[in-house]
Structure 1
Amino acid sequence: MTKYGYARVSTTDQDLTIQVDALRAAECEVIRQEKVSGASRVGRDELRTLMDFLREGDTLVVTRIDRLARSIGDLQDIVRELRERGVGLQATEQPIDTQTAAGKAFLDMLGVFAEFETNLRRERQAEGIAKAKAKGVYKGRKPSIDADRVKALKAEGLGGSEIAKRLGIGRASVYRALDK
């Protein structure tokens, strides 16, 4: 019956201190933390480690449910996996405790709202990009490959693999630059 804490922020410049302090206050014996997007479970090694380590009777503690998952699908998968293994889930800042009926219901509602918020953010971002493109302000990121240099090396008789090796880029990038 051990409590394990999980803290997550989306970017490397964000700070985990507040979450870690809250998890310590919740008496978590072990706290895993990572700085990675919560949009999916891909690349979330610390979460995977915790999920592999949790045993029946243990409790996974997060500060807020959006620290665990940003999509209802991922949240449901995580909760289902925890439930099948007899592991509880609690949140320090929200009335979530999967060992109670009210806690389960609240968890489901929060998961829906977390996904809704993510979708709204994506829509706003796409709208902003479309407006910027219409004004001619947004042109995407600047090319990272010097197409003229690629063409010059090709003119010297070098093949795609050698050009890629010299410039430290992929062969596909060489051929894309040559097609332009």
Structure 2
Amino acid sequence: MTPDFAHHPPRVIGYLRVSTEEQANSGAGLAAQRAALEAEADRRGWEVEFLEDAGVSAKDMKRPALTEALARLDAHKADVLMVTKVDRLSRSLGDFTRVLERAERRRWSVVCLDLGVDTSSPTGELLANIVASTAQYERRLIGQRTKDALAAKKAAGVRLGRPQTLPAEVVQRVVTERDAGRSWQAIADGLTADALPTARGGAAWTFSSTRAVYNSQAANGLRVAPDLSQGELC
């Protein structure tokens, strides 16, 4: 639903942004954005006030002027957020979609000149919904591709999750003690007693975690051939 403006004529925040200090110092980029927004506001008979983030990247939404703009819009001190191009607001489609969703919840409008997005009009609102739907579709595709890739790796026998890492001296200790005839549980109890964390950062070693270290790639080359005449210890 298109929001009802709190002010007549609507109060518009024209958001300006350039990424580099050089652009900010020259003023060319900011001046061009300001002129385009002023022309559009004049055409519609809107009042426009400008807030600018000069020399600030759009890698995230944590920008002083943008934060102020969104807070004023949420408080209904302004009715419309207007930008010349979507990348002035955000380089992330996901972030832009969240701005559109926020505007709908808080009942203010977004106007983006390059995309034709204008949630103050039915046609522009339709375009905004298409953008939001596209972003959602893209997220679902990425999620499905990730899920399929993990399933393929698991089927191929690839171990998933964070790689297990241990200090070389811990691996050497397990190999040395096992080759000296100690049982898996005795080695585990000793490592636990000495407060040495497991590969996953746990505090308690077990029969299986100790044996896994002994059979790991990290232990290759460290192992001394055991005396098989003594048999397998448990």
TM-score normalised over the length of structure 1? 0.56
Q: State the alpha-carbon separation in 1 of the partners of residues 68 and 201 from structure 2.
A: 36
Change (3 A) 1:95 1:145: farther
In structure 2, runs of 5+ residues without a counterpart are 1-11, 35-49, 171-187, 210-234
The equivalent residue for 2:15 is 4
Partner of 2:202: helix, strand, or coil? helix
The amino acid of 2:205's aligned partner reads L
Find the aligned partners of 1:3 and 1:72 in 2 and give their Cα distance: 16
Q: Which runs of 5+ in 1 are unaligned?
A: 8-15, 37-43
Candidates 205, 211, 217, aligned match of 1:178: 205
Within 5 A, what are the aligned runs for 1:1-180? 1-5=12-16, 24=30, 25-27=32-34, 29-31=51-53, 33-36=57-60, 44-46=61-63, 48=67, 50-54=69-73, 55-61=77-83, 63=86, 67=91, 70=94, 74=98, 77-83=101-107, 86=108, 88-137=109-158, 139-144=160-165, 149=170, 154-156=192-194, 158=195, 173-175=201-203, 178=205, 180=209
Partner of 2:3: none
AA aligned to 2:86 is T
Mapped to 1, the partners of 2:166 and 2:67 lie a distance apart of: 36
> 2: distance between equivalents of 1:93 and 1:138?
46
Equivalent AA in structure 1 for residue 52 of structure 2: V
Q: Tell me the number of residue pairs that the alignment of Structure 1 and Structure 2 aligns.
A: 148
Identity %: 18
User: Distance between the aligned counterparts of 2:86 and 2:97, measured in 1?
Assistant: 20
State the distance in 2 between where 1:71 and 1:59 align: 15
TM norm structure 2: 0.46
Q: Distance in 1 between matches of 2:102 and 2:168?
A: 46
Q: In angstroms, what is the RMSD of aligned CA positions?
A: 4.4
Over 3 Å counting, the alpha-carbon distance change for 1:108 and 1:72 in structure 2 is farther
Give yes or no for contact 1:2–1:29 (8 Å, CA) kept in 2.
Answer: yes
The residue type equivalent to 1:52 in the other structure is A
